[in-house]
Amino acid sequence: MWLLACGESPNSHQSAASIDNINYPIESGGALINAMTGEPSGLISMIAGESASSAISSNIFNSLLKYDKNLELEGDLVTNWQISADQKTIIFKLKPNLKWADNQPLTSADVLFTWQAVTDEKTASPYASDFQLVKKAETPDPLTFSVTYNQAYAPALDSWASLQILPKHLLQGKNLHTTAFVRNPVGSHYYKLDSWAHGENLKLSRNANSVLGQAKIDKLITRIIPDNSAQFLELMADNIDLMGLDPIKYSRIIPAHPELQQKLALYKELGNSYTYMGFNLKHKPFDDIRVRHAINYAIDKQEIIDGVYLGLGINIASPYKPGTRWSNPELTPYPYNPAKAKALLKQAGFVDTDGDGIVEQDGKPFAFEIVTNQNKEREKSAVLIQRRLKDVGIDVKIRAIEWASFISRFIKTGDFDVVVLGWGLGLDPDQYNIWHSSQQAPGQFNFIGYNNPTIDKLLEQGRLELNPDKRMKIYHEFARVLLEDSPIVYLSAGYGLTAINKRVKGIDDPAPPAGIGHNSHDWYIPTPLRRNEISAN
Amino acid sequence: MNRSVFIKALSNPLALAGFVIIVLVFLLSIFSPFIAPYDPNDINVKSILLEPSMQHWMGTDGLGRDVLSRMLHGGRISLLVGLVAVGISTAIGIVLGAIAGFYRGWIDTFIMRLVDVMLSIPSFFLILAVIAFLTPSIINIMIVIGLTSWMGVTRLVRAEFLSLNEREFVTASRTLGARDARLIFTHLLPNSLTPIIVSAVLGVAGAVLMESGLSFLGLGVQAPQASWGNILTDGKEYIQFAWWLSLFPGLAILITVLGYNLLGEGLRDALDPRSGNDN
Amino acid sequence: MLKYLIKRVLWMIPMLIGISLISFFIMHLAPGDITSNEAAFNPKASEESRQKLREMYNLDKPVIVQYGLWLKRMVTLDFGKSFASHQKPVFWQTADNDGNVTKGLIQEALPITLMINLLGLAITLILAIPLGIIAARKYLGWQDRSITLFNFIGFSIPGFWLSLLLMYWLGVVNNWFPISGLHSLNYESLDSWGKLKDSLSHLFLPVVIPSITGLAGITLFVKNGMLDVLQQDYITTARAKGLNKHKVVYTHALRNALLPLITIIGLSIPGLIGGSVIAETIFAIPGMGKLFYDAVLMRDFPVVMGILTIGSALTLVGNLLADVAYAWADPRVRRGVARD
């Protein structure tokens, strides 16, 4: 697969700069320098779990399955997989002659070990629940791994795409929380960890035993730079090669500065999450669907996209990535219609009786607080919502809180009226944990208290159906009912924006659904464009 | 005494400059609702990040809000935070310092050890913990800055009291049987007032700076409410390009803090018997 | 003197317990624990696993019991292991059965912060002492005024703003200094001279900027100390005796004026070991300030407690040493203390 991509033209970006027009030959070598704001806690992702950790560990470890550029599942460590007729058993066939970076063979025993580790009580992996549903896991031969569930479990394949396979010969009998492996991992993917200077950088180099062939770029260096402004300065000074951008830098600052445009190529890909405004459905008057509809109509979502994302976002009407199989193309967002919003509020008994511009119900003014965590996009969205809701007579206050306090004081206790938050646009459509009425206990994810028997039933059906087409119909219906019921207001899904130094070639533009990173092993840096100091290293 | 010290201080050109700055900033803040050309929270997604122009003297920010109007209203908040926080810390400092300096003995030891303890816990940790507990709001930020910066005043007041205690007029009143409260309020406190005022003036400078530092960490005054600290923090991302977003709040903080420092230092100099002709 | 010392040292024990108690309760007053981090807000992550984690770290027990457990470990000077970074030791390195050594968090961060702050303090002193002397000698003259103005401008600039401006000017526009970090990526391959040069150039901005902002305080201190001493009887006498003016200033006045600096340096110890969150964040320096700040945000209790305890212990010791040094240097105080 990586060979195919090599034939693509290196860069279709248009600019006056000369390096854009030269067709550099594809060659191996060089170093790519990256930056991130937080340091990984460790590199065993089944217990670390934060994005900084998986950003690194996904270069080191493989899973059984992975998503291709169009977000369809394909084999990573496996050549193929079969699902039994009763849909309860999945049989994975591993690729032959797989090896760990230390030359030891990678077999089904490693997969079994990984499954045992993730489900082990002592590991306390936050992601254990998907794997605890496996009733039986077997390794009939070194290339075969099979799992049997009590009943068909459709999200299973996605879960096997997220579980990174660990080497049994290095970890057996070790405590995953304390083992030195966490900071000195041995994997099977394109890269291996060379060094980790705490708080400074992580250096990866090519793994000669990589199970998927060889990546082009020799070294991946990730520097830890906590402050975004400092990161951008480093990008400008050519000390790092790529960085995620905010919309202002992407659409205003870089295009307006030729010296930056000459150096940086900009990429835009649909992000992996959406922002929403969620009602506490256990609190009055949010239990009234007319009120929820009124607020939905009163919010100008396009204004949020223009104001918060400078147009670099899209409206969504279902909790799935637009353009993928699970997203229902027939659904459209609630339009901005303040007149309708006012009418609906009136129906629900909210009228401005005392002429202060705020509507009242039984003499009580309609006022609430939007709680959000300290996130610029969410805060800005809340400010825009505040203004629009004031237009229809609702008095809104905003409170932004540090994350840990936010979670424990508001979300866990259910002590909020309205939140502005984000959810991931999952690649698997199952969202049982978020919307099913059984998931409302403190610490669970249906904290808005959503309870709709139709939705419950659809979510249950969706988990049992492994046929993608039948499954798609279930989730299209699920998204339709959800939109109609409006327990949350979809605000927007922003694009992921990245600037990459033009020395890096071979990047897909425009980005496929999976994003530009899907073929990062095929990116290459032509010799004349490399940094001297690093190659001397 | 206060008055003459004040006049003497203003004969120092730096202190005078500081005083003028403070008065100007004060007037601008008080009258900001009348001076500000726009509503500071008026969003206009059509005029995002405009450079300074005749319509918007200080340009517009990422949501199309007028930076000048936000600066004026934010200045109000920043100063309010500074003044109230210092009010709180000074009040605590006076009470504890007076008790320690007047009664001495074990209570003095206890209070001074408490001061030591508070000084050895990083104030940022206290602030962070308390703000996380109380959630950031303007009032909480004032309280927190106040609660974590009273130690200096306490030491100062105690020292003043200790030295005044030995002075003749105090020992005289004491032998005449004056009550503690009377002694404290009529003799000791008025005579230590000037150094307290000086430390309060310097304290305002510190509190304004602290608010901007807290904003950098996301713990300052919260959006959408403007403060100089959070305008500057928002602007720091674009320091080289949308320069107006960080230059104006940066300068405003610099000038205001400088003003308080110069005046405070001028007052301290004037208090000092070494200065002036009456040496 | 000895009695005084013993008294002071004994006082430190209740104070340390007091500090740890206050810190412990403040920390637990703040909502949330290690399981309420960003990663835990993933629908794939179950509440049961978070509960298991809480049990693993004893977070399900009452605060007072947790404090007891912590205190019990502290008796053997065991600072415990971090929750948030896979049980890295909080204080000092440990080795597992296979001989893999894991360095302690404070062990890694403290030398960095100390080095930066000591360099910064040295620069501040080198600049502040002459400035203070000039200001005192030309008291109320234009030199005094310009020094005051310059110092206060440095003091009044929001530090992170100045840092970013200088990073842009010295690091991007002119490629004179590295922008952030402690080492270049090719540091390991440099010779020792290259390593030194590389480290110094990385340290330039993070050391110089805080020195500028800290200049005002120390300069004023030196200036006031000088003014005090210059007016004292023995200086006047010395002058009257016809001693050389310079000699008077530099031998008599300066020595006495610098004495109180010992106290100031003692008082600045919490800052020296605490580091600055803001500066360390901007310059990407893995020092104590950043470590502490992250630990608080992650609710990584053992790290928070470890830093607070070590920090306050060092502070108390520092204060004591400063007092003792002061007493030793100044015979008047020494006699006073001895009588105490």
The pLDDT confidence band at residue A350, using thresholds 50, 70 and 90, is: very high
Q: Does the structure show a pLDDT above 50 at A8?
A: no
Joined together, the tokens standing for residue A179 give 């083992």
Cβ contact C163:C209 at 8 Å: yes
Q: Contact B133/C164, CB-based, under 8 Å?
A: no
Distance, in Å, from the CA atom of B132 to the CA atom of A406, rounded to the nearest integer, reads 9
The region that residue A188 occupies, defined by phi over 0 for left and psi between -120 and 50 for alpha, beta otherwise, is alpha
Provide mean pLDDT across the span B56-85: 90
Distance, in Å, from the CA atom of B211 to the CA atom of B257, rounded to the nearest integer, reads 12
Give the pLDDT score at B105.
84
Joined together, the tokens standing for residue A467 give 């046929």
Of C236 and B85, the one with more pLDDT: B85
- Please give the sequence-ordered ranges of beta strands (E in DSSP) within A11-87, or none if there are none: 31-36, 65-67, 73-75, 78-83
Q: Contact B261/C158, CB-based, under 8 Å?
A: no
Substitution target in B11, B14, B123, B254 with the highest count of C β-carbons within 10 Å is B254
Cβ contact A337:A302 at 8 Å: no
Q: Does the structure show a pLDDT above 60 at A386?
A: yes
Q: Pick from A236, A306, A404: which is nearest to B45 by CB?
A: A306
Joined together, the tokens standing for residue B108 give 């003095």
Give the pLDDT score at C266.
73
Provide mean pLDDT across the span A97-108: 91
Give the pLDDT score at A81.
93
Please check whether residue C315 touches B, CB under 8 A: yes
Identify the helix (H) or strand (E) that includes residue C66: helix C63-75
The pLDDT confidence band at residue A14, using thresholds 50, 70 and 90, is: very low
Q: Pick from C41, C102, C290: which is nearest to A180 by CB?
A: C102
Of B214, B256, B265, the C-alpha closest to C151 is: B265
- Give the nearest chain C residue to B212 (CA atoms): C158
Give the pLDDT score at A9.
37
Q: How far is A182 from chain B (nearest CA, A)?
A: 30
Q: How far is C297 from chain B (nearest CA, A)?
A: 9
Q: Does the structure show a pLDDT above 80 at A238?
A: yes
Q: Pick from B64, B132, B137: which is nearest to A402 by CB?
A: B132
Distance, in Å, from the CA atom of C217 to the CA atom of C230, rounded to the nearest integer, reads 20
Q: Does the structure show a pLDDT above 70 at A243?
A: yes
- Range with the poorest average pLDDT among A44-48, A350-354, C112-116: A44-48
% of chain C exceeding 90 in pLDDT? 5
Residue type, A17: A
Cβ contact C31:A409 at 8 Å: yes
The pLDDT confidence band at residue C54, using thresholds 50, 70 and 90, is: confident
Give the pLDDT score at A203.
94
Q: Which residues 106-125 of C have a C-beta within 8 angstroms of A?
A: 108-109
Identify the helix (H) or strand (E) that includes residue A147: strand A144-149
Q: Does the structure show a pLDDT above 80 at C157?
A: yes
Please check whether residue C54 touches A, CB under 8 A: no
Interface A–C counts its CB contacts (< 8 A) at 172
Q: Does the structure show a pLDDT above 70 at B277?
A: no
Q: Does the structure show a pLDDT above 90 at A389?
A: yes
Please check whether residue B141 touches A, CB under 8 A: no
Residues in chain A, total: 537
Q: Contact B242/A383, CB-based, under 8 Å?
A: no
User: pLDDT of A480-527, one tens digit each?
Assistant: 999 999 999 999 999 999 999 999 998 988 888 888 888 888 999 998
Please check whether residue B43 touches A, CB under 8 A: yes
Domain A273-495 has CATH 3.40.30.10: no
User: pLDDT of A262-303, one tens digit each?
Assistant: 999 999 998 888 999 999 999 988 999 999 999 999 999 999
Give the pLDDT score at C308.
84
Q: Contact A249/B237, CB-based, under 8 Å?
A: yes
Range(s) of chain A covered by CATH 3.10.105.10: 273-495
Q: What is the DSSP string of B155-223?
A: HHHHHHHHHHHTSHHHHHHHHTT--HHHIIIIIIHHHHHHHHHHHHHHHHHHHHHHHHHHHHTT-SSPT
Give the pLDDT score at A535.
41
Give the pLDDT score at C39.
62
Across the beta sheet with A219-224, the strand order is A31-36, A219-224, A201-206, A191-197
Of A443, A163, A61, the C-alpha closest to C40 is: A443
Provide mean pLDDT across the span A34-58: 86
User: pLDDT of C278-314, one tens digit each?
Assistant: 889 889 999 988 888 888 888 888 888 888 888 888 8
Q: Does the structure show a pLDDT above 90 at A241?
A: yes
- Give the nearest chain A residue to B241 (CA atoms): A253
ipTM of this predicted structure: 0.84
User: pLDDT of B24-34, one tens digit each?
Assistant: 999 998 898 88
Distance, in Å, from the CA atom of A109 to the CA atom of A281, rounded to the nearest integer, reads 48
The pLDDT confidence band at residue A115, using thresholds 50, 70 and 90, is: very high
Q: How far is C16 from chain B (nearest CA, A)?
A: 8
| Contact list, A409 vs chain C (CB under 8 Å) | 31-32
Q: Which residues 256-285 of C have a C-beta within 8 angstroms of B?
A: 267, 270, 274, 277-278
| Contact list, B254 vs chain C (CB under 8 Å) | 153, 156-158
- Please state, in angstroms and as integers, the Cα–Cα distance from residue B35 to each residue in B29, B31, B54, following that order: 9, 6, 15
Q: Pick from B116, B239, B274: which is nearest to C15 by CB?
A: B116
Joined together, the tokens standing for residue A255 give 């295009």
- Give the nearest chain C residue to B9 (CA atoms): C140
Q: How far is A381 from chain C (nearest CA, A)?
A: 20
The mean pLDDT of chain B is: 84
Given a contact as 3+ CB pairs under 8 Å, which chains touch C?
A: A, B
The pLDDT confidence band at residue A530, using thresholds 50, 70 and 90, is: confident
Distance, in Å, from the CA atom of C182 to the CA atom of A526, rounded to the nearest integer, reads 29
Q: Contact A252/B236, CB-based, under 8 Å?
A: no
Q: Contact C103/A537, CB-based, under 8 Å?
A: no
Please check whether residue B47 touches A, CB under 8 A: no
Give the pLDDT score at A483.
94
Q: Does the structure show a pLDDT above 80 at A450?
A: yes
Q: Contact A200/C98, CB-based, under 8 Å?
A: no
Given a contact as 3+ CB pairs under 8 Å, which chains touch A?
A: B, C
Identify the helix (H) or strand (E) that includes residue C177: none
- Range with the poorest average pLDDT among A46-55, C118-127, C162-171, C244-253: C244-253
Q: Does the structure show a pLDDT above 70 at B273?
A: no
Range(s) of chain A covered by CATH 3.90.76.10: 65-171
Q: Does the structure show a pLDDT above 60 at C204?
A: yes
Cβ contact B124:C277 at 8 Å: yes
| Contact list, C22 vs chain B (CB under 8 Å) | 117, 121
Domain A65-171 belongs to what architecture?
A: Alpha-Beta Complex (3.90)
Q: How far is A224 from chain C (nearest CA, A)?
A: 7
Give the pLDDT score at A189.
92
Give the pLDDT score at A1.
30
Q: Contact C164/B236, CB-based, under 8 Å?
A: yes
| Contact list, C36 vs chain A (CB under 8 Å) | 403-404, 407-408, 412
- Range with the poorest average pLDDT among A14-23, A371-380, A404-413: A14-23
Q: Does the structure show a pLDDT above 60 at A142?
A: yes
Provide mean pLDDT across the span A53-67: 91
Provide mean pLDDT across the span A209-227: 91
Domain A2-37+190-241+503-535 has CATH 3.40.190: yes
Q: Contact B128/C312, CB-based, under 8 Å?
A: no
Q: How far is CA A271 from its chain centroid?
A: 7
Joined together, the tokens standing for residue B132 give 């996380």
Residue type, A210: S
Q: Contact C32/A444, CB-based, under 8 Å?
A: no
Give the pLDDT score at B214.
85
Q: Contact C39/A51, CB-based, under 8 Å?
A: yes
Substitution target in B238, B244, B245 with the highest count of A β-carbons within 10 Å is B238
The mean pLDDT of chain A is: 87
Please check whether residue B239 touches C, CB under 8 A: yes
Q: Contact B216/C160, CB-based, under 8 Å?
A: yes
Q: How far is C187 from chain B (nearest CA, A)?
A: 29
The pLDDT confidence band at residue A2, using thresholds 50, 70 and 90, is: very low
Provide mean pLDDT across the span C74-101: 78
pTM of the model: 0.86
Pairing relation of β-strands A219-224 and A31-36? parallel
Provide mean pLDDT across the span A7-21: 46
- Range with the poorest average pLDDT among A410-419, B203-212, B250-259, C6-15: C6-15
Distance, in Å, from the CA atom of A217 to the CA atom of A229, rounded to the nearest integer, reads 27
Please check whether residue C71 touches A, CB under 8 A: no
The pLDDT confidence band at residue C240, using thresholds 50, 70 and 90, is: low
- Range with the poorest average pLDDT among A110-114, A233-237, C136-140: C136-140
Provide mean pLDDT across the span B85-102: 92
In degrees, rounded to 5, the angle at the alpha carbon of residue A283 between the alpha carbons of residues A417 and A318 is 70
- Give the nearest chain B residue to C314 (CA atoms): B120
Of B32, B25, B70, the C-alpha closest to B230 is: B70
Please check whether residue C6 touches A, CB under 8 A: no
Of A325 and A374, the one with more pLDDT: A325
Strongest mean pLDDT among A159-173, B223-237, C89-103: A159-173
Q: Does the structure show a pLDDT above 70 at B18?
A: yes
Of B191, B207, B101, B103, the C-alpha closest to B150 is: B207
